[in-house]
Amino acid sequence: MEVKSLILFFLTVFPLICTPGPDILFTASQGISKGRLAAAAVKIAMQVK
């Protein structure tokens, strides 16, 4: 592979790797809006599903 292709691949994939998934965003939003207990409850519920 060419070096330019590897750099382009890295620049494309790296932001996707660093972006949190929907479960993390939901847990964080519940924690911010309703507190730690709500965030813990959401995380436990996600593990049980």
Q: What backbone torsions phi and psi does residue 25 show, to the nearest 5 degrees?
A: -65, -40
Give the pLDDT band (50/70/90) at residue 29: very high
Q: What is the mean pLDDT of residues 14-24?
A: 90
Average pLDDT, the chain: 92
Question: Do 31 and 38 touch, CB atoms closer than 8 A?
Answer: yes
Annotated domain spans of the chain: 20-49
Question: Do 18 and 7 touch, CB atoms closer than 8 A?
Answer: no
Question: Do 42 and 30 touch, CB atoms closer than 8 A?
Answer: yes
Question: How far does Cα 36 stand from its chain's mean position?
Answer: 18
User: Could you tell me the pTM of the whole model?
Assistant: 0.64
Q: What is the mean pLDDT of residues 20-48?
A: 93
